[in-house]
Structure 1
Amino acid sequence: MLGLHFILLGFQALSTALTSHGVAFYDPTQSGGSMLDNAGGGGGEPLNVIISGLSSPAVLTDDGILHFAQAVGFSYECLGFHLGDPQSANLGDGNGWVNQTMELRQDYGDDEIGTCLETLVGGNHFRVYRQNGTAANSGALFLAVSQEEDLAEGHTIIPDGYNIGRDKLVANAVGVTSHEYTTYSTVAQNLTGLLAAGSVGVNHGIATDGMTVLLTVTIIDHS
């Protein structure tokens, strides 16, 4: 039976989410990890969206998350160039602190060159981290999503940018979306107890509401 079961222990959401097909994700904080990445300078960005390990396996690959991102308004960075140092995350899977797998940016309707506009005028973007160590191998993708200022402002995060970025991505993703020959159906579940609300430890001192959104992405057509 394919089901998703979350057991709440006090105020801590345990992420075992057991089904016959595996787990949605493991809570990084239960095994020495963090729900904040390491942005340098002592602060971190919240891992505020999780692509469930119960999603279609093809979605959870590097190519798969890129194609899904393109279906919901994001794409690879402008001309493949990355500005700034990569950030790292410890997902409690035994791999320790690992650099982001990729960073994807809002594409303004053009997945080839649209992210160049995002580089100039700002917009939504997210970093991807994969939970695949031997201690917690869910295959889930943890995303640090945020809305950022334009190039002139150094791409700093806008006020309330972590909540805003998360909510924009989720709004674009939920329901049926498609890109080229692949169609996706995505459902969302709001989770509390993984991230602490407020600004303690958060990069730029920007407070968050403490909500993490779990997305389960299913490929319903690939023709």
Structure 2
Amino acid sequence: MHMMIHGLLSLFTLAYASAVTGLTIQKRAVDFFDPALGGGSIFDNATFSGSPLNVIISGLSSPDVLTDKGILDYAQAIGLHSSQECLGFHLGAPQTANLGDGNGSLNQTMEFRQDFGHDVLGTCLESLLGGNHFLVWRQNGPQASSGALFLAASKEKDSSKNHDLVDDGYNIGRDELAVGAVGTKSHNGVTYETVAQKITGIMPAGSDGVNHGIAVDGIVILLTVTIQPKEQ
């Protein structure tokens, strides 16, 4: 009887605390939370025209993948490198996004560019020739702490075109990122297994409110990344 009363009191306390604070109970064992449910957006720069957050690395991925170092290593495994433009230089202000997790609008965590197989000079080639790149935000606020990483992927033209996007650049950037990620990839002795799933219903299709007026098809790719055990 004492244990039953104690359990009921614990449940009541948890429910009361949630009602008083208005916060969602902390939960990480999910792929992600829809940003719109918490007042956020599936587009970055949500108060203006924005770029779609068109790839999500699931919160059910191996925890080490979801850290800053983890996403850096994983990005290199799939052919992109962390670099703010060529050789670490950066042009333009960071973009912001609100993932509906209670953190409000935050600057991107990282930016990655296609490295063409060269860790140091590859991003210079991307700046000159164009290519794929993506920005990263982490959903870890008090209202929706999935730990998922939301990526804004796109494909750019070369530097002579001021890094404008290619036609259909958001859908193409998303698809090229997913194709390069799916399957087995390795970097620095770590092996990753990635599976992809198409998610609909959280991003509207069309060009309304989309940066550059480039239409999107409304599909978000969910990547679940699992680090494979090392062979003995």
Using structure 1 for the length normalisation, give the TM-score. Answer: 0.88
Quick one: which of 31, 45, 60 aligns to 1:38? Answer: 45
Contact 1:39 1:203 in 2 (8 A): no
Structure 1: which 4+ aligned runs deviate by more than 6 Å? none
Identity of aligned residues (%): 64
SS in 2 for 1:208: coil
1:21/1:91 CA distance change after superposition, 3 Å: closer
Quick one: which of 111, 135, 140 aligns to 2:148? Answer: 140
Q: Provide the residue aligned with 2:60 in structure 1.
A: 54
C-alpha distance in 2, partners of 1:39/1:221?
39
Q: Provide the residue aligned with 1:198 in structure 2.
A: 206
Q: Provide the residue aligned with 1:71 in structure 2.
A: 77
Contact 2:28 2:59 in 1 (8 A): no
Output aligned runs, 1:1-223, within 5 Å: 22-38=29-45, 42-77=48-83, 78-222=86-230
Give 1:120's aligned amino acid.
L
Give 2:216's aligned amino acid.
T
Contact 1:24 1:53 in 2 (8 A): yes
Contact 1:23 1:53 in 2 (8 A): yes
Q: Which is helix-richer, 1 or 2?
A: 2
Q: Which is strand-richer, 1 or 2?
A: 1
SS in 2 for 1:189: strand
C-alpha distance in 2, partners of 1:183/1:116?
27
1:135-175 CA-to-partner distances (Å, cap 9, x unmatched) read: 00011000000001111111111110000000000001001
Which range is displaced more, 162-171 or 112-121?
Answer: 112-121
Unaligned ranges ≥5, structure 2: 1-26
Aligned length: 203
Q: Provide the residue aligned with 1:4 in structure 2.
A: none
Q: Provide the residue aligned with 2:7 in structure 1.
A: none
Computing the radius of gyration from Cα coordinates, the structure with the larger value is: 2
Contact 2:182 2:193 in 1 (8 A): yes
Which range is displaced more, 124-133 or 110-119?
Answer: 110-119
Using structure 2 for the length normalisation, give the TM-score. Answer: 0.84
C-alpha distance in 2, partners of 1:96/1:21?
19
Q: CA deviation at 1:112?
A: 2.4
Unaligned ranges ≥5, structure 1: 1-19
